[in-house]
Structure 1
Amino acid sequence: MTPEATARGAVALGDTSHRGRKKLRVWQQLHDAALRLTLTNGLADVTVQQICHEADVAPRTFFNYFQSKHDAALGLNLARALIGTPEPHPSPDDGVLDELCFVVARALTRIPNHTRTRALLARRPELKNAALLWTASLHTELVTLAERRTTPAAARLSALIVLAALVEFGHRPFPTPPDVSTAKEQLLRLVDELQAASQSLSSCN
């Protein structure tokens, strides 16, 4: 099995079995170690072997949880697992953008070490591309969710708008970590800003 295949399914959120708790504990140890080492030394001077040594985990185990040292330092794959996880929306009559913002907000609030991860991105700009790639990777999952309620074309556009709001979310000095409701409202405000900016630019042409 490839590292990519194993990393995506290594940790099942909500698995309260002994094995599930153990997997989550190992995931957390590796992430904490990668985050500490990258904050201190920079990603270029950190190896997978060093991360595993710091976490007291066998090196062969690393790729069962993460695809790369970038992935381990950011710890975003656990949040991504929530994007496609079905859960009733608190307001089922809301529009597509509301639902997508809710789903993304729910994932954001589950990012471990949220404050330190933002500090890492601020101090180590070499990780920003990896964070943007993670954001872009959510597109398929969001489109699939949106297509349950609208046309494929509208679903793709809705997903792009919410992802653009998510990118801007990372640049704003919002309180961290926000709760789901707060994060959703922040994302919706950014969606409104983006739509207003788009209309303003269109009127200038």
Structure 2
Amino acid sequence: MLTFAPIGFGFMVKRRMELINTVIFISFFACLPGIAIILPNFTHLSPLMLPLLYMEAIGVYYVCSTQSAKIIFTEIFLSALCIYMYTYFVTRDYDLHNTAQETPTELKYAIYEANSLHRKVMIISPLGRSMYVVPRFYSPISPYKFNEIKANEKEVEHTYYRNYGKWYFDDHLDSQPNKSWVYLVHDSSGTNNELRKMNSKKYGTYTLYWK
């Protein structure tokens, strides 16, 4: 649907003296330096959504100038939205309610337990590096301390989100378990014989292993 955004941008340029268009222009161009400086993902692109959707609305308004055209566009848009909702909430229903769904309360206690063992912790989950923020949420750390830890990393590792301090993150275990480490493993990630020989404690969809 964002194909209408460039058309809307063109109409906005013609009417750039209007206050709302000026505000949207400022919002749009303010986002561009950030995209140029970093390698953006969908989270970084979120600030662009408001100006882009506004431009799309302007484009739709002028392109679909007749009532019948507006109705056709609305039907197409709603059909696409319904298809998306079906694929997300029905096709992925099992994942959303089982293995891919986090259990915050139980996971919190697993993080507490892992942190209390004072060892390096490997969190293995289908979410992989997305788990990067979880220990920081349940075990807060001073921004100054966090920056001090990250300053010791190589520059190329700063945006990999594979580890910080004693916390490490991956979607699979690609080496033999180390007795000096603690492993927090999601059920869907599987285990190996060496892990099964270690002490373990169940936390919802996660199991904590240690020696």
TM-score range, shorter chain: under 0.3
Structure possessing the higher radius of gyration over alpha carbons: 2
TM-score by length of 2: 0.26
TM-score by length of 1: 0.26
More helix per residue: 1 or 2? 1
